[in-house]
């Protein structure tokens, strides 16, 4: 029923666009100069709608239309990497806000001096996963370090992981409760006494794969457990897809290993300013705009690249 409802919604979007274009053409055919200004505005609006629907044709995966679980993990670079992780955290929250998505923090571990060691966001809204899955990979920052007294140039790395919010009844992901080790502990880091008063944080270890997920943002132990299971289901789903792709590639006689260390984008603040996506060669000199959440052009270009 959900699949039928989604398809009806897609059809209605296209029908609505066709009706708007026909109305536009009918008015334009009158050659009435008094409508010129209004028609120019409507033309720009229609082009925006066409571009948006065209981009959605690239989002045909089973979970592309659903929510996304986005995890940020600081890598090499020490305090600079943790600060870089928080900058990316802010970038994705701003992107979500600008595109009318809801962003909930499921987990956040503060850095020792600054920034964050890791964080997980649940981004809710239509096509959240479809768009954000292009952000998966290593993000590199080059800048003069604010944590170095000599202000030397430092390079920092952060791993961004994007998972779909997998339905509990998905047959591809089956979780045996006996395979789980669940630890309950007190939340740590910023958040006030209410967060740390009771042992509500959850850590789940999946014994067959060794995957460890944790959630500590909610005051409810039950809610933290459910959020941790969402992340676990997403990671198990990714593993299943990778296994399927490996089997298909073996049948084709070719298989390229997935490399988690692949660098997808560089953000350079010194000695010049530029953001460059290494998959699409798209680049911009407006680094601050990108860090403020303006990553739509990078997402669009990545979606259109042939897999």
Instruction: Check pLDDT > 80 for residue 294.
Output: yes
- Give a yes or no: residue 257 inside a domain: no
Based on the domain organization, do 125 and 186 belong to the same domain?
Answer: no
Q: Compute the mean pLDDT over every residue in the chain, rounded to the nearest whole number.
A: 86
Instruction: Check pLDDT > 80 for residue 198.
Output: no
CATH code for the domain of 229:
3.30.160.20
pLDDT in tens, 35-82: 888 889 999 999 988 988 888 889 888 889 899 999 999 987 789 999
pTM for the predicted model, two decimal places:
0.78
Can you spell out the DSSP letters for 92-137? HHHHHHHTT-EEEEEEEEE-SSSSEEEEEEEEESTTHHHHHGGG-E
Based on the domain organization, do 161 and 82 belong to the same domain?
Answer: yes
Per-residue pLDDT, 35:
85
Per-residue pLDDT, 21:
93
- Domain total for the chain? 3
Judge contact between 214 and 199, C-beta under 8 A.
no
105-125 average pLDDT score: 91
Based on the domain organization, do 14 and 49 belong to the same domain?
Answer: yes
- Whole domain around residue 44: which residue ranges? 2-56
Based on the domain organization, do 102 and 144 belong to the same domain?
Answer: yes
Based on the domain organization, do 77 and 184 belong to the same domain?
Answer: no
Q: End-to-end CA distance of the chain, in Å? A: 30
Based on the domain organization, do 43 and 74 belong to the same domain?
Answer: no
Higher per-residue pLDDT: 306 or 10 = 10
Per-residue pLDDT, 260:
44
């Amino acid at each position: 029923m959900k699949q039928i409802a989604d398809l009806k919604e897609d059809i209605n979007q296209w029908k609505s666009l066709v009706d708007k274009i026909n109305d536009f053409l009918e008015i334009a055919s009158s050659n009435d100069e008094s409508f010129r200004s209004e028609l120019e505005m409507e033309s720009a609006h229609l082009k925006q709608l066409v571009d948006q629907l065209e981009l959605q044709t690239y989002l045909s995966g089973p979970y592309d239309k659903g929510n996304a679980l986005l995890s940020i993990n600081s890598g090499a670079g020490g305090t600079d990497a943790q600060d870089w992780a928080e900058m990316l955290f802010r970038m994705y929250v701003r992107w979500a806000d600008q595109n009318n998505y809801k962003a909930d923090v499921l987990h956040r571990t503060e850095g020792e001096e600054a920034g964050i060691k890791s964080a997980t966001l649940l981004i809710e809204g239509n096509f959240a996963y479809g768009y954000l899955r292009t952000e998966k990979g290593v993000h590199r920052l080059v800048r003069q370090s604010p944590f170095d007294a000599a202000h030397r140039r430092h390079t920092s790395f952060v791993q961004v992981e994007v998972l779909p919010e997998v339905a509990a009844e998905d047959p591809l992901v089956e979780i045996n409760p006996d395979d789980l080790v669940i630890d309950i502990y007190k939340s740590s880091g910023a958040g006030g006494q209410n967060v740390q008063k009771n042992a509500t944080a959850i850590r789940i270890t999946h014994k067959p794969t060794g995957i460890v997920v944790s959630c500590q943002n909610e005051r409810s132990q039950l809610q933290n457990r459910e959020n941790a299971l969402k992340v676990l289901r997403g990671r198990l789903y990714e593993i299943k897809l990778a296994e399927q792709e490996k089997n298909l590639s073996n049948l084709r006689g070719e298989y390229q290993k997935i490399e988690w260390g692949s660098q997808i984008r560089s953000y350079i603040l010194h000695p010049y300013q530029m953001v460059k996506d290494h998959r699409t060669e798209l680049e911009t000199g407006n680094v601050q705009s990108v860090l403020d959440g303006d990553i739509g052009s990078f997402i669009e270009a990545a979606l259109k690249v042939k897999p």
